[in-house]
Structure 1
Amino acid sequence: MMEQALRGVIRDSLRKVAREGLPGDHHFFITFLTGMKGVDLPTALRRQHPDEMTIVIQFLFRDLEVRDDDFSITLNFNSVPSRLTVPLAAITSFVDPAAAFGLSFGAEGVESTGSDSPPLPGARVRAPRGEVVPFKPNSPTETGG
Structure 2
Amino acid sequence: MSEQTPPPESLLPYDRWTEEAMRNVALRALEFAARNGLPGEHHFYLTFRTDHPETKVPGHLKARYPQEMTIVLQHQFWDLTVDRAEQKVSVGLSFGGVAATLVVPFAALVAFWDPHVRVGLRFGELSATDGEADEVPEAVAPEPTPPAEPSEPKTDSPAQVVSLDAFRRRPNKE
Instruction: Determine if the TM-score, normalized by the shorter chain, exceeds 0.5.
Output: yes
Question: Aligned residue for 1:6?
Answer: 22
Partner letter of residue 58 of structure 1?
Q
Distance 2:120 2:51 in 1: 23
1:141 is displaced (CA, Å) by 5.7
Could you tell me the percent identity over the aligned residues?
40
CA distance in 1, matches of 2:117, 2:123: 19
Indicate conservation of the 8 Å contact 1:27/1:98, yes or no: yes
TM-score where L is the length of structure 2 = 0.66
- Deviation, 1:136, is 5.8
The offset of 1:91, in angstroms, is: 1.2
- Please state how far the C-alpha of 1:75 moved relative to its aligned partner: 0.3
Q: Is the 8 A contact 2:23 2:123 kept in 1?
A: no
Match for residue 39 of structure 1 among 55, 60, 63 = 55
CA 1:34–1:105 in structure 2 vs 1: closer, same or farther (change >3 Å)?
same
Structure 2 SS opposite 1:73: strand
Distance of aligned partners of 1:43 and 1:135 in 2 relative to their CA distance in 1, 3 Å threshold: closer
Q: Tell me the CA shift for residue 106 of structure 1.
A: 4.2
SS in 2 for 1:4: helix
Are 2:77 and 1:77 aligned? no
Deviations 1:58-97 (A, max 9, x none): 0000000111121000000000000000112111111000
TM-score, normalising length: structure 1? 0.78
Q: Which has the higher contact order (CA 8 A, sep 6+)?
A: 1
Asked whether the equivalents of residues 33 and 91 of structure 1 are also in contact (C-alpha less than 8 Å), the reply is yes
Which of 1 and 2 has greater Rg?
Answer: 2
Ranges in structure 2 where 5+ consecutive residues have no aligned partner: 1-16, 150-174
Kindly indicate whether the alpha-carbon contact (under 8 Å) linking 2:47 and 2:70 is maintained by their aligned counterparts in 1.
yes
**Gaps spanning 5+ residues in structure 1: where?**
112-117, 120-125
Could you tell me how far 1:139 is from its partner in structure 2? 7.0
Which is strand-richer, 1 or 2? 1
